Chain A
Amino acid sequence: MDAPPVFRRQLLDAIPRLRRYARTLTFDTAAADDLAQQALERALSHWQQFDARREMAVWLLSIAHNAHLDTVRRESRMTVTDPDELQRVQDAQGADAGTDVGLRMDLRAALASLPQEQREPLLLVCVEQFSYAEVAEVMHIPIGTVMSRVYRGRLALRSILEGPGHRRPVPGVQLKRVM
């Protein structure tokens, strides 16, 4: 049986979030759209597994997570972002107006240098505003693991933002804020 229109409509509505998530996974717009495409195709062929009472974005992102892992395994490439690629993304996106570019670049670079296993849960929590339980579902890991990875991701992000170029914070002194 083919996926019903209601399901397709929900899927369509979730595309922007799917793409955003894919972009934070791949740091490459084209690769992100490939990933999004794969995730949509998988979602369509497994639509019967979707529980309509649940959040579409959680389900779809979990599919994208799996697809991404598959791709990474297949290509057996590093999951670390290529610095040139990162620069390209920054150049492309630093151009859009709005918030302080310096901050965005800083934060973006810091984010990109986090290991995937920390970056992903951190982003799902901070950007998608998923609960730990939802992140656990997306990444197929226990909630306790989500909690510790989010924490370690935060620490790592802080230490990068406060790292070279910034004075090492002395314990007991108010931490230097970068933003």
Chain B
Amino acid sequence: MTDGVERINDELLSAWVDGELGPVEHARVQDWLRLHPQDMARVKAWAADRAALGEMCRPLVEDPVPAALAKTVWRRRAPSGWALAASAAGLILTGALIGGASAWHWEQQQHALEMAQLRTQLAIGTAQGWVERAAFAHDVYVAEPRHAVEVKAQEEHLSRWLTRRIGIPVKLFDLREHGFELVGGRLLPDGPGKSAQLMYEDAQRHRVTVYLRKPETGTDAEFRYERHGELGMFYWIEEGAGYALVGGLPKGVLLALARSIYRQHPGTEAPAPASSASDVPRR
């Protein structure tokens, strides 16, 4: 078909529909179409398809963003699987993200995001995974009015039982000089291993927890302090035992408690850890 105008190939016609041509080519196609109603009809059909596809898919962007995706965006780098689970648990605790995500309004979502961010920082902002776990375990059980502990302090076997389970001597630290009574303890999963949590409470019902575990490496680690919102924690590794003290109390109070625990570490007094472990009944 040569009508004195250079034949326009079909791909160019298609590109014309998408506004992809420069002014010169655009004008050339325009001229061609004026003279070729058949091509004009095709081009119009393509343009209608373009509009129809756009129209069909447009509503998809109006769907509310699922909480899980929004949360991903606020998450800190390289979270472990556990941290994700823990932050999810934390979210459930705050009650911020429960329920029909699709029904949310943007503002509610924003609020939830902020909570998620806070939670996420708590979960991942610490250097070691087990410290995060300590913080979450604290959160989970401190909120329990009646079932805060698995085994009450009065039960003699608490220390023996936990010692046997987590593989390091668990001493029931005496924090009464600071006004804290032992409530009891529980056994917890700790990644692939196990850990113990001891809970203490003062007369004002402030609760602190001590998280104990056997560290992966034998290397001691010095005292470290972190604060996340209301929650403060001291953690350290001493003679084959990892400690994390967690509580929503001022740093000074927590420090005093941490020092007290540190002084009572089984290795720092007789009997030595080896012998104290040996009087643990074996199965």
Contact = CB atoms under 8 A, between A and B. Distances in A.
Given A37-B72, A99-B55, A148-B11, A157 B49 contact: yes
B76 interface: yes
Interface stretch (A13-21, A61-69, A78-86): A13-21
A33 B69 contact: yes
Interface in B32-74: 38, 41-42, 45-46, 48-63, 65-66, 68-70, 72-74
A44 B61 CA distance: 21
A15 B65 contact: yes
Nearest to B65: A15
A131 B69 contact: no
Interface string A125-165: 11101011000000000000001101100110110010000
B57 A154 contact: no
Report, as a range, how many residues of chain B touch the other chain: 35 or more
Interface in A45-85: 45
Contacts of B78: 45
Nearest to B20: A132
B70 A177 contact: no
B15 interface: yes
A15 B73 contact: yes
A8 B15 CA distance: 35
Given A96-B59, A179-B52, A37 B69 contact: yes
Contacts of A12: 65, 70, 73
B11 A147 contact: yes
A19 B72 contact: no
A126 to B, nearest CB: 4
Contact of B54 (A111, A129, A157, A158): A129
Interface in B1-50: 10-11, 14-15, 17-18, 20, 38, 41-42, 45-46, 48-50
A24 B109 CA distance: 25
B146 interface: no
Contact of A132 (B15, B42, B57, B60): B15
A17 B57 CA distance: 10
Contacts of A17: 61
A150 B77 contact: no
B75 interface: yes
Contact of B60 (A20, A33, A157, A174): A20
Contact of A150 (B14, B59, B75): B14
Given A15-B65, A15-B73, A44-B72, A127 B45 contact: no
B53 A122 contact: yes
B61 A16 contact: yes
Contacts of A175: 41-42, 45
Contacts of A99: 55-56
A125 B46 CA distance: 12
15 contacts: A15-B69, A19-B60, A19-B69, A36-B69, A37-B72, A40-B72, A41-B72, A99-B55, A126-B53, A132-B20, A148-B11, A150-B18, A154-B14, A172-B38, A179-B48
Interface of B: 10-11, 14-15, 17-18, 20, 38, 41-42, 45-46, 48-63, 65-66, 68-70, 72-78
Interface of A: 2-3, 8, 11-12, 15-17, 19-20, 23-24, 33, 36-37, 40-41, 44-45, 96, 98-99, 103-104, 107-108, 111, 122-123, 125-127, 129, 131-132, 147-148, 150-151, 154-155, 157-158, 161, 171-172, 174-175, 177, 179
8 nearest CB pairs, A to B:
A151-B14, A20-B60, A126-B53, A16-B61, A127-B57, A126-B50, A151-B11, A40-B72
